[in-house]
Amino acid sequence: MGFESLAKIEKEFQTFQILNENGEIVNKAEEPDLTDEQLRELMKRMVYTRVLDQRSISLNRQGRLGFYAPTAGQEASQLASHFALEKEDFILPGYRDVPQIIWHGLPLYKAFLFSKGHFEGNQLPEDLNILPPQIIIGAQIIQATGVALGLKMRNKKAVAVTYTGDGGSSQGDFYEGINFAGAYNTPAIFFIQNNRFAISTPVELQTKAKTLAQKAVAAGIPGIQVDGMDPLAVYVVTKKARERALNGEGPTLIETLTYRYGPHTMAGDDPTRYRSDDLDNEWEKKDPIVRFRTYLQAKNLWTEEDEEQTIEQAQKEIREAIQKADNAPKQKVTDLLGFMFEDMPKNIEEQMEEYKAKESK
């Protein structure tokens, strides 16, 4: 009667890996054709982003940043996937996915202004194909489907890429988005960064599915689970998904198995209340930066000096960017009202005049 079909489906979703936690190639046939310089550049971005995360946490604690969602542990999932994209591709990030849009072209100081709640943080360069980080969990999935459909209708050789966490895959918007994307064969790539906990809820309590990648089956689109701590594997599956989309083969759902070392956000979350030391220690052994460093050192492509120079560069650029963000003009009520409407209603006009008078004193 078909009751055995679920088990058959789940067996198809084996974790794709190229580089194991010891930095060894275990899937030579799938090793990407990246140049030595490209490998070094990816490593630089990962180290830089780890420094950015550490510094952002400190700035948040000092009260110099507002909302912040830590990223340490997810560098391979975020940056190796972005490394497979092109400038013309459109990124729709979640609130933890600021690193991808920085490397896509968002000035660092604007990322800081976004965190501070300053409107200038969402004033994007005209040639930058991104949306601001989405705070509503899962909403970016539907938006990405719409952007991808627009790219298809305009015959653009580009894809729309979006990211959410394991918690986002439990939202209604997630199912609606991937279903619509499949039905209209849009050039979209959907990432579920499965870091095991939607804030404090373990993934095992969110779904009975053995993998999150298998949720693609109901939408009629391919799904793949990948070792999200393995930058080479993440790069390869993203590149293949992009090629599929550009060839008119439709969207792909990618589940990256990863881990966030810090709290869900800096807004009071305490991960020690729901994560054990044993689990933390287990995933620290899989650290994507340690793994990739070992791989590159074996190929004589990365040295301690390279790492120190990258850290120094990151620290310098972060200092300059936060100073620029700190020096941004304080936003006024009239700024916020002015951006709200193209054709301003009468009651807002009255409020504008009232606040202009107050601000001029």
Catalytic hit among 50, 264, 275, 291: 264
d(CA 10, CA 6): 6
Strand partners, 94: 134
Is 233:227 a contact under the CB 8 Å cutoff? yes
Catalytic hit among 175, 184, 274, 355: 274
| Known catalytic residue at 274 | yes
Is 128:106 a contact under the CB 8 Å cutoff? yes
Is 203:194 a contact under the CB 8 Å cutoff? yes
Is 188:171 a contact under the CB 8 Å cutoff? no
Q: Return the ∠ at Cα 80 (arms to 304 and 214), rounded to 5°.
A: 140
Is 91:66 a contact under the CB 8 Å cutoff? no
Is 187:148 a contact under the CB 8 Å cutoff? yes
| Known catalytic residue at 264 | yes
Give the position of tokens 């080479």. 232
Catalytic hit among 82, 104, 242, 260: 260
Please spell the DSSP secondary structure of 142-184, one letter per residue. Answer: HHHHHHHHHHHHTT-S--EEEEEETTGGGSHHHHHHHHHHHHT
State both tokens at 125. Answer: 């360069």
| Known catalytic residue at 50 | no
Say whether 244 sits in a helix, a strand or coil: helix
Say whether 151 sits in a helix, a strand or coil: helix
Residues with a catalytic annotation lie at 260, 264, 274
